[in-house]
A and B are shown apart, each in its own frame.
Chain A
Amino acid sequence: MDLFIQLTLTGLTNGAILALAALGFVLIYKSSDVINFAQGEFLLIGAYVMFSMLVQFSLPWTIGLVLTLLVAVGIGVAVERLVLRPLIGEPIISVIMATIGLSSLLRAIVSTIWGNQPRAFPAFIPSKPVHVLGATVGADRLWAIAIAGGMLFLFNLFFTRSKEGIAMRAVADDQQAAMSMGISVKRIFAWAWSIAAMTAAIGGALVANIVGVGPELAGFGLRVFPVVILGGLDSIPGAIVGGVIIGLLEAYVGGYIGMGLNQVISFIVLILILMVRPYGLFGQEIIERV
C-alpha cells in the first residue's frame, strides 16, 4: 500500500508537469495547426533561465520565477515575429519543419550560454521528506503537483472566462470568421506561443528542481507526444487528463513491473491509441450537422 501511494504521488508529479508541457503544445496546435517540435527546448530554456536567476543573480525564487516567465513571453513573441510571421500563407508542413530547426537553434543557444554539463539545481522548493498516508515523499514533489495544478486551473479559467482566452479558441475554430470580428490572428499566435513557452518554463523549472538541470531535459519534450495523442491533439482538458494518466502509468509500470519498461510504456500506449481512437480521448471530432 505504501508503495502504491508512493508511486501515485510520483506519477502525479510527472503527470502534472507533463500536462503543463502538453498544454502549451496543444495550444499551439489548436490555434495554428502547427506541431511544435521545439516544446522540449522551451522546457530546457525555462529550466536554465530559472537556474541563472537563482544561482547567478541569487534572486529569491518568487522573483526568479516571475522573471523566467517574462523571458518565456519574450521568447514566444520573438518566435511569432521571426519564424511564424514570415511563413504566413505557407503550407503548415513548412512551419512544422521550421519548428524542428528552431529546436536545434534553441538547443545550440542553450549550450553556448550554459554549457553541456548537467548541474545541480538549487532546490528552490524544500525537498525534505513528508509522510503522506504512510508513504514518504519529497515535499518538492507535492509542491510540483500543487503549482502545476494551480497553473492548469488558472489557464482553464483564462480560456473559458477571459475575452482573450475565448478569442484564442475562436481563432482555433475558424480563423477567417475570427478575423471578421476584429480578432488579430497575429496577436493570438503570439499569445499562444508565449503561453506555450510559459507553461514549458514552469514545467522545466519544476523538473529541474527535482532532477537537476542539463541538456537532456529537452527529452521531456518527446514525452509530450504520447500525452497529447492520448488526450487529443486539440483538447486542453485532454492534455491535462492525458498528462496525469501517462505520469501514473509510467510510475506504476516502473514500480510494479520494472524499470526500463516505464520508458517505453507511454509509446506503446501511443500506438494503441492511434489504432483505436486516433483523435484521442477528448479530441474534437468534426461536428457534422445532418
Chain B
Amino acid sequence: MLSLNNVEVIYNKVILVLKGMSLQVPQGQIVGLLGANGAGKTTTLKAISGLLKPEDGEVTDGSIEFLGQPIHNHDPEDIVRMGIFQVMEGRRVFEHLTVEENLIAGAYTHASSSLHDDLEMVYTYFPRLKERRKQTAGYLSGGEQQMLAIGRALMAHPKLMLLDEPSLGLAPLLVREIFDIVQRINQEHGTTILLVEQNANLTLQVADYAYIMENGRIVLEGTPAELKENADVREFYLGLTEVGKRKSYRDVKHYKRRKRWLS
C-alpha cells in the first residue's frame, strides 16, 4: 500500500537525516517502526505526510509511493485527501477549541453529510470524549487528549493512519487502552496503521510486522516473533538478557554487548 524506497531527507539543505530509508506497509496491517531518539522516525512520518515542508525539510532522493502513486514532496492537504492521516507526536489538540470542534476540524477533508454519524462512531470508541464534548480540549487529561487526537484522525476516514508515539507521557494502563483501541480500529475499519514507537514491548505485541531504525536507516526488520528472538533486540529494545542463562555480574562489568548490525 505504502512503500518508501531509498528515501533521503535533508533539512535546511544541509542536514542529512534519512539516509536511504526503505519500508513497506501492506494493506490492512499494523506495521511498527521502532528506534531510539533521533533515529529519524518522526522525519519518516513527516516525509510521508508532507509535513516536512514547513520545517524546511525535503525529500531529495528515492521515492514514496502510496497506492502506486508517487507522493513525496506533495502538499499535506493533497496527501490527506488521498487517505493518509498523521497523528502527530505530543497529541497537538487544538487547545482552545472544544472536543467536538476538534473532531469537526479533523473531518475537514471529508464530506459533511456523514458528520453526525462519524462523531457518534468516534464516541463509541472513546465514550469519555462524549462526556467531555463541550469542554475546552486544552483542559483534558493527557490520555483524553491522545484519544481526541486519534478520534480526530478517525473523522477523516483515512486508509492509512500514521501514529507518532501515542504512548508518549501516558500512564501504562492508559497506553494499554490506547493500543487496544488502535488494534480495534485496524480490525473493524480495515485501517492500515504505521505505528512509530519507543515502547518496543507493546508495539511488538500489536504489530504484524516491525522495522527497527537507527541513524536514518532501517537496520533490522521482521515479524514480531522473529524480532523478539533476536538477541540484539532483546538486549537493547526489550531490556532482556538471554533467558535460561544465569547472568553473571562479571559479564555486566566486562562485557557490554555490541550491536551486531553495526559494522
- Using CB atoms and an 8 Å cutoff, list the residues of chain A in contact with chain B: 89, 160, 163, 166-167, 169-170, 172-184, 284, 287, 289
Contact = CB atoms under 8 A, between A and B. Distances in A.
Contacts of A181: 80, 85, 105-106, 108-109, 152-153, 156
A83 B68 CA distance: 38
A181 B108 CA distance: 7
B142 A183 contact: no
A176 B54 contact: yes
A179 B109 CA distance: 11
Given A166-B105, A184-B75, 9 more contacts: A89-B56, A167-B108, A169-B94, A169-B97, A170-B97, A176-B92, A178-B94, A181-B152, A181-B153
Contact of B108 (A172, A174, A182, A287): A182
Given A173-B96, A284-B96, A184 B51 contact: no
**Size band of the B side of the interface?**
35 or more
Nearest to B164: A180
B210 to A, nearest CB: 24
A160 B101 CA distance: 8
A228 B80 CA distance: 36
A287 B139 contact: yes
Interface string B35-63: 00000000000000101001010000000
A179 B97 contact: no
Contact of B156 (A174, A182, A184): A182
Interface string B64-98: 00000000000111011100011110001111110
B136 interface: yes
Contacts of A176: 51, 54, 88, 92
A124 to B, nearest CB: 36
A289 B138 contact: yes
B138 A174 contact: no
Given A179-B77, A181-B108, A184-B77, A287 B92 contact: no
Given A167-B108, A170-B105, A179 B51 contact: yes
A178 B51 CA distance: 11
B108 A177 contact: no
A166 B98 CA distance: 10
Interface of B: 49, 51, 54, 56, 75-77, 79-81, 85-88, 92-97, 101-102, 104-109, 112, 136, 138-139, 141-142, 152-153, 156
B92 to A, nearest CB: 4
A6 B49 CA distance: 59
Contacts of B75: 184
B57 to A, nearest CB: 12
Nearest to A160: B101
Contacts of B56: 89
A177 B94 contact: yes
Nearest to A288: B138
A167 B101 CA distance: 9
Contact of B109 (A169, A174, A182): A182
**Ranked 3 nearest A-B pairs via Cβ:** A182-B80, A287-B138, A177-B92
A169 B85 CA distance: 20
A118 B86 CA distance: 56
B101 A180 contact: no
A170 B93 CA distance: 9
A287 to B, nearest CB: 4
